[in-house]
């Protein structure tokens, strides 16, 4: 009983001492004076004005707590409001104070709001707060040990943060931010946090987003760290686009320098208009906090692309690879492998600089048939742009080039795209300062080879191409490239052209440069000139032009053909076409209007042989005669016209000349016979 009596006396003495201390604090607490003193210290230290407009109150039981009402903090100089709170509370346990220990029961902030601005000169309006105030310390002053942290609970409710970039005009806001946690304890290099949750919604320019983070427990000690599964969920919603993503980090372990995450998993579902992409990725993660490096060592997953215009509706791509980043050096790398049908695709990306982004890459594709995956081409439409009954032409937007710093190589074993077919494609790509250069560019196609270069300049939407095609079959190439069946043969084509414009039609109408073609063993399709001359030789006397409808089954053969072109404002001018065949010689000149897809061309056909086996005997009467054949109209179906007017006299003259030549030849032969007789030979 005596012991209990002593304990009771001691307990009563402690309570009496606490009551006396509480009474003294309450009696001497002057809220108005404290507000002034705190505001003076803040202004002296930061140059900002602190106004505590609400109450400043002290409570003593069951915890020692300070309650603050509405308060605002100004921008430097006191010109405008930078941040404000509607209420805040800090509470500490009373009994641990007797042993000089601070145990925080609660830190609560209600309706905190702050605005961060990046000014036109690139500085931030919080730079002065981040820098802090430097204080002189004696060189031999000991560094005090870090104060232990023991907070039972943290609560932030209805907070809001705004970001405004005056250089770019972009904005970002984070609203309705709620943060709560269980105990937070750190001391002597060890500690942990429990039941951390964060939820917020926000706005970035025109896009709205939500964010939620859950971390049940994280323990940190000198020997290592360990945590339960952390989850991050986010959504993004904008005009015609949506994104929902979930990030999971499980089996977290490590120490103060290194951290290992047994499983990093990302699930994302993105929609853009009618297109949808669903991605699933997972990998172990290794972090070196000292070196500021992170590595995803075994990436695995898949990407599903869905679009109603895809022939197969959904395209599934398996993914495997690895990724790493060095935050100190601002560099990163990614290796990703996938498959499209039976063709392997391997990509390597290297980021040499994060901002502005500098990217290097290597892309290696076994085989790719883009026509299989692209929506079918709409029939019966033209890209003239904007005429009645036609859809306006899409603008060519090259603005993305202006921010690129890109360099790499592309290798494709076999490619089919827009009906074109090529193999062994090699290209080196360099994009910077708004310019894209593809050089060298080489490929095998249509039994021949292509070598050259391409250039694109975002300044003025300018395009340029220098290409040499050697030994190609021109007929299948034209058919696949432009759906035109006008020419056959095999040989060489050289192009050096440039264009500018913001639509495909504008590019065609601005095309300028030069072109050359040299073909062998081919044909001009649409008309058989030799046959038509045989059919019409009896009409020469009538002197009437004869129209001939284009017929894809008819063609004029040639053993060789050569021509050069000067191109200006989308019109290719030719003055030197020559072609040879066993029966005919062709010469040509005229205009090919690429911009409007029309022809105005004049061929001159001359009969030079009369081989009986080729029907030449029927053209004896036309031997030596040049017959104009005019080609006019749209590329798709041009009109042929044999211009016979005025040729009757030419035909008689040609016949007389042929008769003279025949008599001359007979006279020469007779003279040679007489000379041989006189010489006895």
Q: pLDDT tens digits, residue range 110-152?
A: 999 988 888 888 888 888 776 655 444 555 555 455 567 788 8
Can you name the residues that pair with 241 across neighbouring β-strands?
238, 272
Lowest mean pLDDT, pick from 310-319, 374-383, 549-558? 374-383
How large is the average pLDDT for residues 164-190? Answer: 85
- Higher-pLDDT residue of 549 and 527 is 527
Mean pLDDT throughout 29-57?
A: 85
Q: How far apart are CA 485 and CA 476, in angstroms?
A: 8
pLDDT, one tens digit per residue, over 255-300 is: 767 888 999 999 999 999 889 999 999 999 998 888 899 999 999 9
Structure token digits, residue 628:
């104009």
Question: Around 367, how many Cα atoms within 13 Å sit in the side-chain half-sphere?
Answer: 6
- What mean pLDDT do residues 73-88 have? 87
The neighbouring-strand residues paired with 601 are: 590, 631
Are the beta carbons of 487 and 479 closer than 8 angstroms? no
Cα–Cα distance, 182 to 197 (Å, whole number): 9
What's the token pair of residue 555?
Answer: 């063609």
Per-residue pLDDT, 554: 84
Residue 485 has a CB neighbour count (10 Å cut-off) of 15
The confidence score (pLDDT) of residue 248 equals 95
For 296, residues 6+ apart whose C-beta sits below 8 A from its C-beta are 264, 283, 284, 285, 322, 323, 324
pLDDT reported for residue 591: 95
Given this model, what pLDDT does residue 300 score? 96
Return the pLDDT at 484: 79
pLDDT digits (tens, 9 = 90+) for 483-494: 878 889 999 999
- How many C-alpha atoms does 609 have within 13 Å on its Cβ side? 11
pLDDT over 90 (residue 47): no
* Residue 112 CB neighbour total at 10 angstroms: 19
Q: Is the pLDDT of residue 380 over 50?
A: no
Given this model, what pLDDT does residue 146 score? 59
For residue 3, what pLDDT is reported? 43
- Total residue count of the chain as it appears in this document: 681
Q: What is the dihedral of CA 500, 506, 510, 511, to 10 degrees?
A: 80
pLDDT at 440: 95
Q: What is the structure's pLDDT at 650?
A: 53
């Amino acid at each position: 009983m005596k012991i209990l009596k002593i304990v009771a006396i001691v307990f009563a003495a402690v309570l009496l001492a606490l009551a006396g201390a509480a009474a003294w604090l309450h009696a001497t607490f002057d809220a108005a004076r404290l507000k002034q003193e705190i505001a003076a210290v803040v202004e002296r230290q930061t140059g900002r004005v602190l106004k505590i407009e609400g109450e400043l109150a002290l409570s003593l039981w069951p915890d020692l707590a300070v309650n603050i009402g509405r308060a605002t903090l100004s921008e430097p100089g006191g010109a405008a409001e930078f941040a404000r709170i509607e209420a805040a509370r800090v509470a500490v346990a009373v009994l641990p104070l007797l042993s000089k220990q601070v145990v925080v029961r609660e830190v609560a902030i209600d309706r905190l709001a702050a605005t961060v601005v990046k000014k036109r000169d690139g500085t931030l309006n919080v730079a002065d707060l981040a820098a802090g105030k430097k204080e002189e310390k004696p060189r031999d002053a000991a560094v005090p040990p870090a104060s232990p942290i023991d907070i039972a609970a943290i609560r932030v409710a209805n907070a809001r943060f705004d970001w405004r970039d005056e250089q770019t005009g972009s904005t970002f806001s984070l609203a309705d931010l709620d943060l709560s946690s269980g105990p937070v304890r750190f001391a002597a290099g060890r500690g942990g946090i429990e039941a951390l949750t964060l939820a917020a919604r926000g706005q970035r320019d025109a896009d709205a987003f939500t964010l939620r983070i859950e971390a049940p427990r994280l323990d940190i000690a000198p020997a290592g760290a360990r945590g339960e599964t952390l989850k991050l969920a986010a959504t993004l919603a904008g005009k015609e686009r949506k994104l929902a993503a979930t990030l999971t980090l499980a089996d977290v372990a490590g120490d103060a320098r290194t951290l290992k995450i047994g499983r990093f998993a990302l699930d994302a579902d993105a929609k853009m208009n009618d297109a949808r992409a669903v991605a699933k990725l997972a990998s172990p993660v290794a972090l070196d906090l000292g070196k500021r490096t992170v590595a995803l060592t075994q990436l695995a997953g898949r990407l599903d692309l869905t679009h109603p215009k895809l022939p197969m509706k959904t395209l599934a791509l398996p993914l495997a690879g690895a990724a790493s980043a060095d935050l100190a050096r601002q560099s990163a790398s990614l290796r990703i492998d996938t498959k499209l049908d039976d063709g392997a695709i391997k990509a390597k990306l290297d980021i040499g600089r994060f901002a502005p982004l500098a990217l290097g890459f290597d892309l290696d594709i076994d085989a790719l048939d883009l026509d299989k995956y692209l929506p079918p081409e709409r029939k019966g439409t033209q890209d003239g742009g904007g005429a009645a009954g036609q859809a306006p032409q899409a603008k060519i937007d090259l603005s993305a080039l202006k921010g690129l710093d890109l360099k790499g190589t592309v290798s494709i074993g076999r490619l089919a795209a827009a009906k074109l077919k090529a193999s062994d494609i090699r290209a080196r790509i360099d994009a910077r300062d708004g310019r894209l250069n593809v050089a060298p560019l080489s490929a095998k196609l249509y039994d021949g080879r292509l070598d050259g270069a391409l250039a694109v300049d975002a300044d003025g939407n300018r395009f340029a191409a220098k290409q040499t095609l050697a030994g190609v079959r021109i007929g299948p190439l034209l058919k696949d490239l432009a759906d035109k069946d006008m020419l056959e043969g095999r040989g060489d084509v050289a192009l050096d052209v440039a264009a500018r414009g913001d639509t495909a039609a504008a590019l065609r109408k601005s095309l300028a440069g030069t072109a050359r073609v040299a073909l062998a063993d081919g044909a001009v399709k649409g008309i058989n000139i030799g046959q038509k001359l045989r059919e019409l030789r009896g009409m020469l006397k009538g002197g009437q032009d004869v129209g001939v409808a284009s017929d894809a089954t008819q063609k004029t053969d040639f053993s060789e053909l050569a021509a050069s072109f000067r191109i200006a404002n989308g019109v290719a001018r030719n003055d030197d076409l020559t072609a040879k065949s066993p029966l005919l010689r062709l010469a040509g000149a005229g205009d090919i209007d690429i911009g409007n897809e029309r022809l105005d061309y004049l061929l001159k056909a001359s009969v030079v042989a009369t081989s009986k086996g080729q029907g030449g005997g029927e053209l004896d009467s036309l031997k030596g005669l040049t017959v104009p054949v005019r080609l006019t109209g749209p590329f798709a179906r041009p009109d042929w016209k044999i211009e016979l007017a005025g040729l009757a006299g030419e035909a008689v003259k040609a016949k007389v000349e042929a008769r003279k030549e025949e008599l001359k030849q007979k006279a020469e032969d007779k003279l040679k016979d007489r000379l041989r007789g006189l010489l006895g030979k």
